[in-house]
Structure 1
Amino acid sequence: MPLFMTLLVRDEEDILDANLSYHLAQGVDHIIVTDNLSVDGSPDIIQTYVNQGVATYIRETDNTYSQSKWVSRMADIAHDAGASWVMHCDADEFWVAPKTDLKGWFSGQRWHNVVSAHRHDFVCLENDDSPFWQRMIYRKSLSTNPLGQPLPPKVAHRAKSGLTVAQGNHAVSGFLWPRILMSDLEILHFPLRSREQYIRKIENGGQAYANNTELALSVGNTWRMQYTELMETGTLAFVDTNTVSAEMLQDQLADGTIQVDTRLADFLDNRG
């Protein structure tokens, strides 16, 4: 049962190697990566895995963040390469299966052809130059997007040609009879890892959405609103309120706002 994963990245060198090595260790057989205009070390990291035969590298040069089009293309490539299941992932997302690895979990699916997985945000400690996973071991008890709305789940599906993965990887269409499972899979989510990293993400993503003349303005509204805020004020309230000090951390642990979750840290600290 070949398990494939897609990944769309742009300037993710601080987290990309961790993401690729983690998911391969969890049973993903092959990862199709679309690199959209990275200017950091991301292409070199991807190429390392291509050289090992476990990744396919696509270079996308359009600055339009046409995620649905690009991810749907990767889903077709995965189907043509023999995938049974395809997971759609972002560089800051780490999928976790209960009591087994991802390969074992998907191998046990018999009835459903689409599965959804909920995400859990981790809080960003003030950056002391340590790897993100060593300081980001505190998970929010309630995860919301920068607009205060509940985080929508992400999807995986059985491989099939001609599917359309929605912008954001939150849904997939094209099955005659979609049988959707709200699964017990979890996604550990690390969107804000440093002030510089997140501001660069919004600069890149907001400009790309502004360049896209095909998508409705309601698509990508979180990034669009943050980009406008950044252009008008030079800062982001989301970054200011979600980058916590050691003192703030203790208060949030005490009132139950956050909880300790070392699953990713344990894996990455112990990988060979």
Structure 2
Amino acid sequence: MTILCRNEVDIIGANIKTHAALGVDTFIVMDNGSTDGTRELLNQLAKDYHVVIIDQPSQTYQQALWMKQLVHTARDLGADWVISNDADEFWMPQDSAKTLKDYLNYADSVVTVPKSNMLLTEESLRDDFHFSQLKLRIKYPMRYPVEARVEEQDVSIFFNETPAKVIVNPNGFIKISGGNHRAKHIGNLATGRVENGIRVYHYPVRSWAHFEDSIKHRRELLKNPNAKMGQHYRRWVKLLDEDCLYQEYQRFIIPSDDIPVLKKYGLVTEDPIPSLRMKV
């Protein structure tokens, strides 16, 4: 598993512990200049798990290039499969008796896995809240117009359709997209496939402090006119500049009274799998 991270001290430990229990043998983690203790925690995790740490201090945010380099590093270490991951994503077998390895075979080139966003609920306002307690996830997402994602306040980006993720066979690998959503492989047309037995659970927002720090960092990255970044990040940077970002964070929290309606129309579902299988 390869991970590109920056300031993920609240989640990187659970990420590595969980995926190790689910069958991942080696973690290649590129730390992009963390300042919150993430880098020090990685050193501690490396004492108990096979974690290869690469320091990447550059703030040019060349995600696609860096993730490609990480796949090559994994290949050189003898990996049979590479899961290109983010610190806030958990790859969970839907069958509790299986590990990730049970869904992979040597004949495949690129395995595409569906991804779902986990949603903040009122419980997240408690002092003792931990992201692993979240059970409400998007079931059937919506497809908002691009301009709505940027301009309209009553649109939640987390309800928007989210691209799938990929596991790649490093032999024959060519390149991977910036968000790790697609990969080019010499055998993709013949042996690429979708695997619904695994689901990626995405925790895009946890605490207010982490969200604010992330958007401040994105604001610095966007000073580069050639920076490639999703439109929702540009929206949040704009709100940060207008001193309205906290109101946006508050809108992420789903009120308890709204949940039955969202369930009724198939937008969300209660999913206990990650909280049951996650190691924290």
TM class, shorter-chain normalised? 0.7 to 0.9
Residue 183 of structure 1: aligned partner: 195
Residue 36 of structure 2: aligned partner: 40
Looking at structure 1, the residues matched to 71 and 212 of structure 2 have their Cα atoms a distance apart, in angstroms, of 29
Give yes or no for contact 1:75–1:163 (8 Å, CA) kept in 2. no
Give yes or no for contact 2:8–2:87 (8 Å, CA) kept in 1. yes
Deviations 1:27-71 (A, max 9, x none): 000010011111112112211222235111111111121111111
Residue 148 of structure 2: aligned partner: none
| Residue 198 in structure 1 maps to residue 204 in structure 2 | no
Q: Which of 137, 140, 157 is the equivalent residue of 2:138?
A: 140
Q: Which amino acid aligns with 1:226?
A: W
Residue 128 of structure 1: aligned partner: 126
Give yes or no for contact 1:120–1:140 (8 Å, CA) kept in 2. yes
Q: Which of 45, 48, 55 is the equivalent residue of 1:49?
A: 45
Q: Which amino acid aligns with 1:183?
A: E
After superposition, residues 86-101 of structure 1 pair within 5 angstroms as: 86-99=82-95, 100-101=98-99
Number of corresponding residues: 260
| Residue 262 in structure 1 maps to residue 272 in structure 2 | yes
Give yes or no for contact 1:164–1:173 (8 Å, CA) kept in 2. yes
Residue 176 of structure 1 deviates from its aligned partner by: 5.7
Looking at structure 1, the residues matched to 261 and 187 of structure 2 have their Cα atoms a distance apart, in angstroms, of 50
C-alpha spacing 1:23/1:66, structure 2 compared with 1 (3 Å): same
Residue 103 of structure 1: aligned partner: 101
Q: Where does structure 1 differ by over 6 angstroms across 4 or more consecutive aligned residues?
A: none
Deviations 1:3-38 (A, max 9, x none): xx0001111111111111000100000010011111
Looking at structure 2, the residues matched to 127 and 147 of structure 1 have their Cα atoms a distance apart, in angstroms, of 18
Residue 73 of structure 2: aligned partner: 77
Q: Which amino acid aligns with 1:180?
A: G
| Residue 208 in structure 1 maps to residue 213 in structure 2 | no
Residue 163 of structure 1 deviates from its aligned partner by: 2.9
Residue 176 of structure 2: aligned partner: 165
Unmatched 5+ residue regions in structure 1?
Answer: none
The two structures have a TM-score, normalised by structure 2, of 0.83
- CA RMSD in angstroms comes to 2.5
The two structures have a TM-score, normalised by structure 1, of 0.85
C-alpha spacing 1:177/1:257, structure 2 compared with 1 (3 Å): closer
C-alpha spacing 1:241/1:46, structure 2 compared with 1 (3 Å): same
Unmatched 5+ residue regions in structure 2?
Answer: 143-155
Give yes or no for contact 1:79–1:160 (8 Å, CA) kept in 2. yes
Give yes or no for contact 2:6–2:32 (8 Å, CA) kept in 1. yes
Deviations 1:223-264 (A, max 9, x none): 233222322343166533221244444554465442211111
